Amino acid sequence: MATASVSGSREKELWRRLGEVNDPELDEAITEMGFVERAEVKGDGNVEVDFRLPTYWCSPNFAFLMLDGVRKALDQLSWSPAYRVKLHDHMFAEEVNRGIEVGRTFGDIFAELAEDKDIDTLRETFSMKAFKRRQEAVLRGLREHGLTDHEILGTDLTAYDAVRFAPGEAAVQKPRYRAALLERFPERQAGDPVFVTWEGRQIAPAALSAYLAELRGVRVNMEFNGALCRGLKQTRYKELDVVDGEPTLVDFIMDRVPARSAPAV
């Protein structure tokens, strides 16, 4: 009985850790995207993870960033297990899996495969997009909350933590934006403004609407890529269950096409 309890607890921890790894381009959890096909704690405590991307030709840069995130997540497991991560149905799966089997790191393997050798620059680009997407959701939420632009941009970390949103996108992104802000600006003090640009500049209240329009462009692009990615994966792997109510790529496009007026009779 105790063994079953330990096993169940470890399974939950495993999936929780994997759920903290994001697709770098979409800023969505790889578990939500369905990229983790199987994650299992074996009887001896070791861990096996099967990983599958939506297309055969997914950029090796993206694959590296996600698999490196998986590695870091597994390294944080409380019982420090040995683990095996296997990439399936990808143009570099053979090279990646063979390299892992002989003990090479993801960094060593992908250094030879990556299209862009400056992975750190690519990682920062995706971090910037995630920062902006999360920030936009919270800014819109505060406007809907009834705050003026001046009040919003004067919000410090203490006031930010006191805000309570109804369930929705702003509530989801509030803690995620806080994490992104402090990762970007670790020296941030409790009394400092929470809403600044990626470069750390103050945002003038009169400029907030234009700034939000810029952020919206980032979000729409990421949402479109996410819808496309889900559609490709569902088309490629028919056995995956479609989540009830999840929008398709067509739904996403049609939702953004202005409705045409009926022709005059």
Task: Give the domain CATH number at 22.
Answer: 3.30.300.130
Taking phi over 0 as left and psi of -120 to 50 as alpha, with beta for the rest, 27 belongs to: left
- Of 203, 221, 239, which residue sits at a domain end? 221
Quote the Cα angle for 43-88-47, to 5°. 20
215 and 129 both lie in a single domain:
yes
Predicted pLDDT at 60: 82
- Of 90, 117, 144, which residue sits at a domain end? 117
CA atoms of 36 and 92, how far apart (whole Å)? 17
124 and 52 both lie in a single domain:
no
23 and 89 both lie in a single domain:
yes
What pLDDT, in 10s, does the model give residues 87-128?
998 988 998 888 887 878 777 888 777 655 577 888 899 999
Neighbours of 165 (CB within 10 A): 17
Would you say residue 255 lies in a domain?
A: no
Of 62-71, 181-190, 210-219, 234-243, which range is least confident? 234-243
Would you say residue 258 lies in a domain?
A: no
Per-residue pLDDT averaged across 164-170, rounded? 96
Residue 178 buriedness (CB in 10 A; 0-12 / 13-18 / 19+) = middle
CA atoms of 248 and 255, how far apart (whole Å)? 11
19 and 43 both lie in a single domain:
yes
81 and 185 both lie in a single domain:
no
Instruction: Note down the domain range covering 125.
Output: 120-221
Contacts of 127 (CB under 8 A, 6+ apart): 24, 180, 183, 184
28 and 79 both lie in a single domain:
yes
CA atoms of 83 and 258, how far apart (whole Å)? 50
Of 95-99, 153-157, 161-165, 239-243, which range is least confident? 239-243
Exposure string (b/e) for 76-104, b if CB count within 10 Å is 16 or more?
ebeeebebebbbeebebbebbbebbeeeb
Neighbours of 156 (CB within 10 A): 15
Would you say residue 243 lies in a domain?
A: no
106 and 136 both lie in a single domain:
no
CA atoms within 13 A on the CB side of 164: 0
pTM for this prediction: 0.78
Predicted pLDDT at 261: 40
138 and 168 both lie in a single domain:
yes
Strand-strand pairing, 36-41 and 28-29: unpaired
Q: How confident is the model at residue 230 (pLDDT cuts 50, 70, 90)?
A: confident
141 and 107 both lie in a single domain:
no
Would you say residue 232 lies in a domain?
A: no
124 and 207 both lie in a single domain:
yes
Per-residue pLDDT averaged across 254-265, rounded? 42
Would you say residue 246 lies in a domain?
A: no
User: 48, 38, 102, 103: which is closest to 77 by C-alpha?
Assistant: 48
Q: Crossing angle for the helix pair 106-113 and 93-101, nearest 10 degrees?
A: 150
Q: Crossing angle for the helix pair 2-18 and 60-75, nearest 10 degrees?
A: 140
64 and 130 both lie in a single domain:
no
Domain tally, the chain: 2
195 and 112 both lie in a single domain:
no
Predicted pLDDT at 108: 83
- Of 79, 95, 117, which residue sits at a domain end? 117
